[in-house]
């Protein structure tokens, strides 16, 4: 049984709670044990734009808390993952800022030795659980379902730091989606940023970037987006809904979180998966499920 | 006489204070609600909504909240058994003392015909309730002053609340203990109730009381003869027992008396019973009069808040009722600091040492602002930074034992400060994510204002350097300018392939990106190579950067483009801080 400290950050519990419930249910079925550390705080990603010390202190505190319990971290949010990995990378070097951060951490009765492994849950599912084991747990598979897979940015890049997948031709998320029977379509600007980091600072630019992605996904005849990050999900779901409200004619392309997609084919109930909690209706995903397993 | 006068005076001050504070609930505003409302509008709207709730199915929720969260305080229990026990002891101990003891002649007498404070169960219960409060106060003192709990802040309001309770209870025990030992009290009571006794019988009674009831008297000496005690006991049963249960029932007061016995005689002659009586009732009346202005107001505002938030639907509530509730919420905060114990942004506080970042410390400045108090520039900036450095994770809202809807309070108060206050560089970060998601709730003309202010603050010194009419000054800058902490000058590896600008989705979004962004990523690297750091800091590109790392990923020369853009942002913000420090030190606007 693999045991991890479960890091879900700030966006998921407050704005995308279904991501947490669905992920817990799915990971449980694969024997991944999750420990909750209540003292976890923000990973520091939103502060990184303006205050390097605040960002580092926030991330390192979480790493130290996990290290204190002798646990590696399992992360659900790409931005948290990127922030933690970048913090780990910065702390691996020596410097006055690193000393200051360590000093503060030690004042709090914790320590950070760089021992905590930071893992994205998709990596755990892909490398540790394995596609074969995942397929064994499926009750149903999807038929003729086109998915536009959204890797996001902060797990893929900078690849020397995150070491998540090939940054130019990644495949692990596509393979995970394909394991459920769905087809991961090839769409232009697939690996581009969803635009969420600019929400609140440059909303017009953020919306433009999203619209380009939406166009490309529709052109590739995708039925759904599939995300692995709450920021991407909020951009594709909440913000897309806002944009659709403004342009009455536009037909939205709904977005499903990966644990929801996988969980549904594993027969986990839609209440736990929070299928009704997404802003854009994803209920038609169930119509793609076929009883015969491939 | 003094008793009656001070009772009425404190009651008058108390009620006037309540009316004043209640008035502020309908007059003041903590935040931005889109429209201005009059106090009477708010009062009647609140009344209407309250009646609508009471005469609807929601009354169940209201009663549930009252029983579970006001009387049983389960929100505190969820956080800590010790804190729950501490507060329950203080809460129930004091309420029961108030009704059974302080209002004994009114409440207890009406319910139970044979009420006398010195009879059981009242005699015993008074001590028990007093000890409950004292135990709670002791835990509170240990928590706040001895356990070094990080981010548990204690201010003068907290100290007053603990202090007044301690004085009331301790003076009560001392008073009761001394009365038990007091010869003067005994003599007065004997004169009034046992006037028929002969001198011999009186002395026997006194001996009995010294032997069995904790009385201290130099007029009778041990050892007492058995028949004297017997005689005294008979006198006691005829004249005293009707109102007096054994003094040992008031176990704590009795013990206090025993401890004080060696000095009791002297204290009695010095009139200590009278002194303590004054301390005891005056501290009660001072506590009562000062209540509306102290932390103790929460005994009214917190239950109201808990029940209001149990039935108010965030999406459907009228803005005037939200405004009213939020002012009540500011009075409902008990400074327990649970919110700060769990705040996701707490390391932001550790990094910047601005206490206003902690949610518990935001309440006091918001109260000051709502009261229309003028705060100096530096203070306002600190408060704005504090209220903006928040990830909107909602944890504070979930844990608040007073049931305050902190999430909504921050959102409303934040917008007001953003509009009216100074520039806040933090808005140029992903901390603005939720504001962006809620942008339809902000009027379209005021939404961009804080962003414009911030953008101006971070770029005003540098953007003019990008004016295409200007010549570029290539004088090498002072060496120390390049030594910004942690700034890896990997830009020196750049050989101008422009890969970064080609893969940048932001650049790719525009027909004429240089007009929108000032400088493209490769131009920024080139500027840095030429020593034109400040010119680079003026480019809007650095603030429109998605931090998607495409540039850094695709650079064939390992130039850390994105990380460099981060460093430029830090330098721009540092320039703002520096400017403000100089401004403040030069005597700014204080």
β-pairing verdict for A224-227 and A146-150: parallel
DSSP B98: I
Render pLDDT for A46-82 as a digit per residue (tens, 0 to 9): 999 999 999 999 999 999 999 999 999 999 999 999 9
Q: By CB neighbour count within 10 A (0-12 exposed, 13-18 middle, 19+ buried), where does A246 fall?
A: exposed
Residue B468 banded pLDDT, cuts 50, 70, 90: confident
> Could B544 and A153 be called an inter-chain contact, meaning their C-beta atoms sit closer than 8 Å?
no
> Could B428 and A49 be called an inter-chain contact, meaning their C-beta atoms sit closer than 8 Å?
yes
A212 touches chain B (CB under 8 A): yes
**pLDDT for A1:** 61
- Tokens 């919110």 locate to B339
Average pLDDT value for residue range B245-267: 93
Render pLDDT for B281-334 as a digit per residue (tens, 0 to 9): 999 999 999 999 999 999 999 999 999 999 999 888 999 999 999 999 999 999
Average pLDDT, chain B: 92
Query: Which residue on chain B is closest to A38 by alpha carbon?
Result: B342
Q: How far off is chain B from A59, nearest CA to CA, in Å?
A: 9
Distances in Å between the alpha carbon of B408 and those of A55, A136, B53, B363? 25, 46, 21, 13
Q: Helix or strand or coil: residue A115? A: coil
Choose among A199, A202, A234: nearest Cβ to B544.
A202
User: What residues of chain A lie within 8 A of the CB of B150, using their CB?
Assistant: 108
> Does residue B116 carry a pLDDT above 50?
yes
A244 touches chain B (CB under 8 A): no
> Could B344 and A49 be called an inter-chain contact, meaning their C-beta atoms sit closer than 8 Å?
no
> Does residue B130 carry a pLDDT above 80?
yes
Choose among A49, A95, A157: nearest Cβ to B430.
A49
User: What residues of chain B lie within 8 A of the CB of A159, using their CB?
Assistant: 553
- Tokens 């490309």 locate to A216
A205 touches chain B (CB under 8 A): yes
A119 touches chain B (CB under 8 A): no
User: What residues of chain B lie within 8 A of the CB of A39, using their CB?
Assistant: 342
Size of interface A-B (CB pairs under 8 A): 166
**pLDDT for B475:** 75
> Could B347 and A10 be called an inter-chain contact, meaning their C-beta atoms sit closer than 8 Å?
no
Angle at which helices A52-68 and A96-107 cross, to 10°: 50
A255 touches chain B (CB under 8 A): no
- CB B273, CB B179: distance < 8 Å: yes
Query: Which residue on chain B is closest to A100 by alpha carbon?
Result: B351
- Tell me chain B's radius of gyration from C-alpha atoms: 34
> Could B552 and A157 be called an inter-chain contact, meaning their C-beta atoms sit closer than 8 Å?
yes
Q: How far apart are the first and last CA of chain A?
A: 28
Distances in Å between the alpha carbon of B181 and those of A65, B222, B248, B277? 58, 16, 12, 15
**pLDDT for B485:** 40
**pLDDT for A73:** 97
A169 touches chain B (CB under 8 A): no
**pLDDT for B477:** 62
User: What residues of chain A lie within 8 A of the CB of B550, using their CB?
Assistant: 153, 157, 192-193
User: What residues of chain B lie within 8 A of the CB of A95, using their CB?
Assistant: 485-486
Q: How far apart are the first and last CA of chain B?
A: 50
Choose among A42, A167, A238: nearest Cβ to B345.
A42
Q: Helix or strand or coil: residue B31? A: coil
- Which one of A47, A103, A206, A240 makes the best mutation probe of the B interface by having the most chain B beta carbons within 10 Å? A47
Of all residues in chain B, the percent with pLDDT exceeding 70 is 97
Query: Which residue on chain A is closest to B439 by alpha carbon?
Result: A200
**pLDDT for B33:** 80
Cα angle B516, B427, B376 (rounded to 5 degrees) comes to: 125
Query: Which residue on chain B is closest to A246 by alpha carbon?
Result: B440
> Could B429 and A47 be called an inter-chain contact, meaning their C-beta atoms sit closer than 8 Å?
yes
User: What residues of chain B lie within 8 A of the CB of A45, using their CB?
Assistant: 430
> Does residue B267 carry a pLDDT above 50?
yes
Q: Lowest-pLDDT range, A176-190, B403-417, B469-483? A: B469-483
> Could B506 and A205 be called an inter-chain contact, meaning their C-beta atoms sit closer than 8 Å?
yes
Give phi and psi for A74, each to the nearest 5: -110, 125
> Could A47 and B348 be called an inter-chain contact, meaning their C-beta atoms sit closer than 8 Å?
yes
Render pLDDT for B64-102 as a digit per residue (tens, 0 to 9): 999 999 999 999 999 999 999 999 999 999 999 999 999
> Could B425 and A38 be called an inter-chain contact, meaning their C-beta atoms sit closer than 8 Å?
no
> Could A41 and B345 be called an inter-chain contact, meaning their C-beta atoms sit closer than 8 Å?
yes
* DSSP per-residue letters across B323-377: HHHHHHHHHH-----HHHHH-TTHHHHHHH--GGGSHHHHHHHHHHHHTT----H
**pLDDT for B578:** 83
A170 touches chain B (CB under 8 A): no
CA separation for the pair B7, B14 (Å, rounded)? 10
> Does residue B384 carry a pLDDT above 50?
yes
> Could B429 and A49 be called an inter-chain contact, meaning their C-beta atoms sit closer than 8 Å?
yes
Query: Which residue on chain B is closest to A245 by alpha carbon?
Result: B440
Choose among A39, A201, A203: nearest Cβ to B428.
A201
Choose among B393, B439, B569: nearest Cβ to A10.
B393
A258 touches chain B (CB under 8 A): no
Q: How far off is chain B from A160, nearest CA to CA, in Å?
A: 8
> Could B436 and A206 be called an inter-chain contact, meaning their C-beta atoms sit closer than 8 Å?
yes
Query: Which residue on chain B is closest to A193 by alpha carbon?
Result: B548
Average pLDDT value for residue range B104-129: 91
- Which one of A87, A155, A160, A201 makes the best mutation probe of the B interface by having the most chain B beta carbons within 10 Å? A201
- Taking alpha carbons only, the member of A248, A176, A246, A190 closest to residue A219 is A190
**pLDDT for B589:** 43
More confident: A2 or A137: A137
Of all residues in chain A, the percent with pLDDT exceeding 90 is 95
At a CB cut-off of 8 Å and minimum separation 6, what does A158 contact? A167, B549, B552, B553, B560, B562
Q: Per the structure block, which two tokens stand in for B332?
A: 């409902």
Average pLDDT value for residue range B117-123: 91
> Does residue B235 carry a pLDDT above 70?
yes
User: What residues of chain B lie within 8 A of the CB of A77, using their CB?
Assistant: none
A198 touches chain B (CB under 8 A): yes
Choose among A42, A57, A202: nearest Cβ to B391.
A42
Render pLDDT for B198-218 as a digit per residue (tens, 0 to 9): 999 999 999 999 999 999 998
How many CB atoms neighbour CB B111 within 10 A? 9
> Could B505 and A108 be called an inter-chain contact, meaning their C-beta atoms sit closer than 8 Å?
no
User: What residues of chain A lie within 8 A of the CB of B425, using their CB?
Assistant: 50
Render pLDDT for A113-169 as a digit per residue (tens, 0 to 9): 999 999 999 999 999 999 999 999 999 999 999 999 999 999 999 999 999 999 999
Q: Helix or strand or coil: residue A146? A: strand
Choose among A44, A197, A200: nearest Cβ to B546.
A197
> Could B347 and A57 be called an inter-chain contact, meaning their C-beta atoms sit closer than 8 Å?
yes
Render pLDDT for B550-589 as a digit per residue (tens, 0 to 9): 999 999 999 999 999 999 999 999 989 888 888 777 765 4
- Tell me chain A's radius of gyration from C-alpha atoms: 19
**pLDDT for B484:** 46
Each residue of B13-24: b (16+ CB within 10 Å) or e? bbeebeeebbeb
User: What residues of chain A lie within 8 A of the CB of B391, using their CB?
Assistant: 10, 42, 46
């Amino acid at each position: 049984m693999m045991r991890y400290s479960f890091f879900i950050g700030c966006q998921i519990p407050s704005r995308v709670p279904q991501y947490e419930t669905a992920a817990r249910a799915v990971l449980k079925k694969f024997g991944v044990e999750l420990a909750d550390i209540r003292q976890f705080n923000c990973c520091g990603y939103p502060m990184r734009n303006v205050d390097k010390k605040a960002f580092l202190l926030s991330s390192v505190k979480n790493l130290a808390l996990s290290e204190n319990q002798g646990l590696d971290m399992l992360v659900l949010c790409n931005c948290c993952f990127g922030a933690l990995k970048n913090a780990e990378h910065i702390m691996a070097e020596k410097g006055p800022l690193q000393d200051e951060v360590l000093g503060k951490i030690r004042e709090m009765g914790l320590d950070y030795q760089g021992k905590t492994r930071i893992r994205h849950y998709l990596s755990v599912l892909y490398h540790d659980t394995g596609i074969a084991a995942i397929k064994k747990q499926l009750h149903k598979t999807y038929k003729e379902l086109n998915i536009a897979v959204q890797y996001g940015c902060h797990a893929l890049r900078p690849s020397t730091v995150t070491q998540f997948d090939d940054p130019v031709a990644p495949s692990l998320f596509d393979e995970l989606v394909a394991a459920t029977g769905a087809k991961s379509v090839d769409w232009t600007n697939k690996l581009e940023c969803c635009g969420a980091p600019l929400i609140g600072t440059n909303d017009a630019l953020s919306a433009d970037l999203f619209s380009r992605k939406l166009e490309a996904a529709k052109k590739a005849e995708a039925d759904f987006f599939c995300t692995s990050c709450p920021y991407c999900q909020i951009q594709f779901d909440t913000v897309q809904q806002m944009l659709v409200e403004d342009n009455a004619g536009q037909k939205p392309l709904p977005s499903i979180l990966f644990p929801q997609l996988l969980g549904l084919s594993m027969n986990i109930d839609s209440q736990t998966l929070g299928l009704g909690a997404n802003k854009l209706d994803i209920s038609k995903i169930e119509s793609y499920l076929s009883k015969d397993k491939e | 006489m003094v008793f009656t006068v001070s009772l009425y005076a404190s009651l008058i001050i108390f009620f006037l204070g309540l009316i004043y504070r209640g008035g502020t609930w309908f007059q003041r505003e903590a935040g931005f609600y889109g429209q201005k409302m009059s106090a009477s509008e708010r009062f009647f709207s609140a009344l209407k909504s309250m009646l609508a709730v009471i005469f609807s199915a929601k009354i169940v929720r209201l009663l549930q909240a009252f029983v579970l969260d006001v009387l049983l305080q389960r929100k505190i229990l969820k956080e800590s058994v010790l804190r729950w026990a501490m507060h329950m002891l203080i809460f129930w101990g004091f309420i029961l003392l108030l009704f059974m003891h302080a209002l004994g002649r009114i409440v207890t007498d009406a319910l139970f015909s044979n009420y006398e404070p010195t009879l059981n169960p009242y005699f015993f219960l008074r001590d028990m309730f007093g000890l409950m409060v004292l135990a709670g106060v002791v835990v509170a003192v240990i928590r706040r002053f001895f356990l070094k709990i990080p981010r548990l802040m204690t201010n003068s309001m907290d100290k007053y609340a603990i202090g007044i309770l301690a004085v009331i209870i301790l003076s009560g025990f001392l008073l009761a203990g001394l009365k038990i030992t007091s010869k003067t009290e005994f003599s007065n009571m004997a004169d009034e109730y046992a006037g028929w006794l002969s001198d011999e019988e009186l002395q026997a009674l006194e001996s009995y009381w010294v032997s069995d009831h904790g009385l201290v008297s130099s007029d009778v000496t041990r050892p007492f003869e058995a028949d004297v005690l017997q005689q005294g006991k008979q006198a006691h049963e005829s004249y005293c027992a009707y109102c007096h249960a054994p003094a040992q029932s008031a176990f704590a007061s009795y013990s206090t008396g025993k401890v004080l016995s060696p000095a009791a005689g002297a204290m009695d002659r010095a009139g200590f019973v009278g002194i303590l009586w004054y301390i005891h009732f005056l501290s009660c009346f001072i506590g009562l009069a000062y209540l509306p202005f102290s932390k103790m107001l929460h005994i009214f505002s917190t239950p109201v808040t808990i029940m209001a938030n149990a039935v108010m639907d965030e999406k459907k509530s009228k803005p005037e009722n939200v405004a009213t509730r939020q002012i009540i919420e500011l009075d409902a905060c008990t400074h327990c600091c649970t919110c700060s114990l769990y705040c996701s942004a707490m390391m932001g506080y550790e990094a910047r040492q601005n206490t206003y970042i902690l949610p518990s410390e935001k309440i006091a400045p918001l109260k000051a602002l709502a009261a229309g108090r003028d705060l100096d520039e530096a203070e306002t900036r600190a408060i704005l930074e504090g209220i903006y450095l928040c990830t909107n994770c909602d944890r504070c809202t979930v844990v608040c034992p007073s049931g305050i809807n902190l999430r909504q309070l921050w959102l409303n108060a934040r917008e007001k400060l953003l509009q009216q206050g100074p520039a806040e560089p933090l808005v140029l970060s992903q901390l603005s994510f939720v504001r962006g998601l809620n942008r339809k709730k902000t009027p379209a003309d005021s939404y961009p204002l804080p962003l414009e202010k911030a953008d101006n603050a971070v770029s005003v010194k540098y953007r003019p350097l990008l004016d295409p009419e200007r010549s570029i000054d290539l004088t090498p800058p002072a060496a120390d300018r390049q030594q910004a902490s942690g700034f890896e000058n990997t830009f020196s590896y750049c050989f101008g392939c422009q890969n970064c600008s080609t893969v940048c989705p932001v650049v790719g979004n525009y027909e004429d990106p240089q007009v929108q962004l000032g400088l493209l990523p490769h131009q920024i690297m080139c500027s840095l190579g030429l020593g034109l750091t400040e010119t680079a800091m003026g480019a809007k590109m650095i603030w429109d950067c998605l931090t998607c790392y495409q540039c850094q990923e695709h650079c064939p020369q390992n130039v850390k483009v994105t990380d460099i853009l981060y460093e430029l942002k830090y330098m721009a913000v540092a320039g703002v801080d520096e400017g403000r420090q100089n401004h403040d030190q030069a005597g700014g606007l204080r």
